[in-house]
Structure 1
Amino acid sequence: MHPFDAPHVVHTLPHQLRAWSGQVDRVLVTVDTRLANAGRYRADRYEEAREALFAQLEAMRKDHPALVVDPVSYDGKTRAEIGRAFFSTTPDWPDRAFDGGPFYVYFHGLHRADADYVLHMDSDMLFGGGSQTWIDEAVALLERRPDALFVGPFPGPPRADGSLDPAVHAGFPGLSGVAAPVRLDEPAPAYRFSTVSTRIFMMDMRRFAARVGTLDLVRPDLKRRLRARAYDETPRSMPAEEVLSANLAARGLSRIDYLGEGAGMYSLHPPYRMPEFYARLPELIARIERGDIPEGQRGDFDINASMIDWSVALEAKRPAVRYRKALQQLLRVQAGRFRRA
């Protein structure tokens, strides 16, 4: 998480702890406190957001003694350790992806967790089903599926027949020729994927060491490299999920999304941010926890219009609005360059 995640973390982290803390040895909260040049991690009132987030985390630690707050360290020793663990043959791996998005922080969290199995999730992820045996079942699934490196909760609430909507799982940003998910012959609904999203996954760290060992970067194309230079970012790599996915494919490995027994466990992702979302987030979490899911949401991993009206957020995503914001960010970066010169 990042300080600017504080408005949702106050609601999502207690929810995540209810879903998972009873199944794990400890909870590691990885907090990146670096500011970015562009994107959602570049904003005003940073110190206020930072103080709010750490105050929230400190309050939650009182009720959850297994919760460890771990600010990301960029010092040379820590970075060298993470490099040896994940990028031993790729010395030029970056702190951030070409677009200024998080990169190093994902591997920092995986390394600092220091566990055979690490369940990683972004700070905004929500979970339904509520199974308290999901992790044990997922470990057993990994043991009987030696080609799987990752296993995750089912991507969205399943349909009545245990299926997902193939239309929302078509393609993958930044990669071409991605295979469609394949339903597996398992006691509970399960699909094999050739990609992995950094939103949510459980990773077999011993299998990573044995079958992968070191990650090759996915280099940005010329257009993305030019964009990175314009925004004063480092154009060395595509985001972490493209890197992980490409290395999966190169080694014949996969990710499996698995519902589990009974009601199981599934994930939901809120794709947008707006004042109404924050106001309705407690109600949204309560609905998901009690299984109040409309039919229009089943089979879809992104929270859609059947659960919340996203029209205000979609208006802000119109091309004209996005281009204006991008131009404002570009001018801000260039002005900073001029002042430094």
Structure 2
Amino acid sequence: MNATSVPKVSFTVNVCNSDAPYLEQTLRHMLRQLNFPFFERIATYDPGRQVGKYAERIQGSQSEVERILQTLLAEGVIDRVDVIPWTEEEQNRILLKYFGDGSIGLKDFSGAPIYQYLYAMDACSGDYLFHVDSDMLFYRQGERSWLFDGLELLQRESRVIVATPQGGPPQARNWLERLTGFSFEPKPTTDWHHASFTSTRYFLMDAARFRACLPLQQAKPGEPLENSLSHTFTRKGYQRWSMNGYTHWAIHPWRHDENYVRYLDDLIWAVENGIYPFRRTGFKWDMRTEGEHINEWLAVLRKHGRTLD
């Protein structure tokens, strides 16, 4: 696949007021790291106050988020900002189109978005769409974007609907690896593997195959959208495949706490340079910065010459 044959891929990210403390640095980072000629780059903004577990996050202001988005627009980092409409007519249109049922909750049991995600995806006009949460961080080895590999996979494998990079950098998996600081993980023999669950954190999706899956089906009322996507894809015979190896990986901040915001520029630098604590807390794909866990990241930053305040 070369530059002249790249299909139309939409970039879509959902934004809310609680994203303000990290939004600008993170969007600049992810578009730089993805290094891909997107057909369109859309930020879909919900100015309403967060509810449920999301209400506990550090809250930014609407004026602050609007200023950030306007700056990114003016500099050409993104192409468009859509504001979520909260009219009953638009809510019904989206829920009927994607679930065939206007009574589906606009948010899941925890306050996570359903309608907002679907509205953002519905506004994309590309043949493929790359959806990402506004807090994701990406590592890329070399200049080639993993999205080229993802597109080649989707074009080659007719039952794959979603492709994703590796979730997180290497991590000590047992006492021996923690003791030696060395990974004994065998080198993968294939480039991709089948993953049973489709997270809404980030994915490259074939838009036509997604439309063929509609209407989406909920396994349980009030469940997160990612559960409905995973359930529906499985029932329709589609799969998500994830990359093997660590030439590309994505990592997600487990908390948007004061430590994360304070050291954000340093943490982004670490990810972009493939620097991480091999011995670290939590899942491989989560960046833990709350409390004493930030010290795992600060130690490797100092080891690589970063001066921290």
Q: TM-score, normalised by structure 1?
A: 0.70
> What letter is aligned with 1:87?
F
Answer whether contact 2:170 2:278 (CA < 8 A) is retained.
no
> How far does residue 29 in structure 1 lie from its aligned partner after superposition?
0.6
Correspondence for 2:237 among 241, 252, 255: 252
> What letter is aligned with 1:216?
Q
Q: For each residue in 1:151-200, what CA deviation from the matched residue of structure 2 results, as whole angstroms up to 9, or x when unmatched?
A: 111111257xxxx969xxxxxxxxxxxxxxxx9863x3x22111111111
For 1:297 and 1:312, how far apart are their aligned partners in 2? 8
For 1:33 and 1:286, how far apart are their aligned partners in 2? 29
Answer whether contact 1:154 1:266 (CA < 8 A) is retained.
yes
> How far does residue 43 in structure 1 lie from its aligned partner after superposition?
7.5
Q: Which has the higher strand share?
A: 2
The unaligned stretches of length 5 or more in structure 1 are 167-182, 221-236, 314-341
> How far does residue 309 in structure 1 lie from its aligned partner after superposition?
6.0
Counterpart residue number, 2:292: 311
Counterpart residue number, 2:285: 301
Correspondence for 1:290 among 273, 277, 287: 273
Provide the aligned length of Structure 1 versus Structure 2. Answer: 266
Q: For each residue in 1:123-157, what CA deviation from the matched residue of structure 2 results, as whole angstroms up to 9, or x when unmatched?
A: 11000025533222111101222221111111112
Answer whether contact 1:121 1:201 (CA < 8 A) is retained.
yes
> How far does residue 84 in structure 1 lie from its aligned partner after superposition?
4.5
Correspondence for 1:241 among 218, 226, 229: 226
Q: CA RMSD in A?
A: 2.9
For 2:248 and 2:76, how far apart are their aligned partners in 1? 22
Counterpart residue number, 1:191: 193
* Residues 1:153 and 1:291: Cα distance change in structure 2 (over 3 Å): same
> What letter is aligned with 1:271?
W
The unaligned stretches of length 5 or more in structure 2 are 1-14, 175-186, 295-309
Superposed counterparts of 1:56-67, under 5 Å: 56-64=68-76, 66-67=78-79
Counterpart residue number, 1:319: none
* Residues 1:297 and 1:149: Cα distance change in structure 2 (over 3 Å): farther
> What letter is aligned with 1:267?
A
Q: Which has the higher helix share?
A: 1
* Residues 1:273 and 1:207: Cα distance change in structure 2 (over 3 Å): same
> How far does residue 86 in structure 1 lie from its aligned partner after superposition?
1.3
Answer whether contact 1:148 1:255 (CA < 8 A) is retained.
yes
1:94 aligns with 2:105: yes
> How far does residue 98 in structure 1 lie from its aligned partner after superposition?
2.0
* Residues 1:121 and 1:65: Cα distance change in structure 2 (over 3 Å): closer
Q: SS state of the match for residue 30, structure 1?
A: strand
Answer whether contact 1:196 1:241 (CA < 8 A) is retained.
yes
> How far does residue 11 in structure 1 lie from its aligned partner after superposition?
1.7
Superposed counterparts of 1:271-290, under 5 Å: 271-290=254-273
> How far does residue 293 in structure 1 lie from its aligned partner after superposition?
2.7
> How far does residue 66 in structure 1 lie from its aligned partner after superposition?
4.4
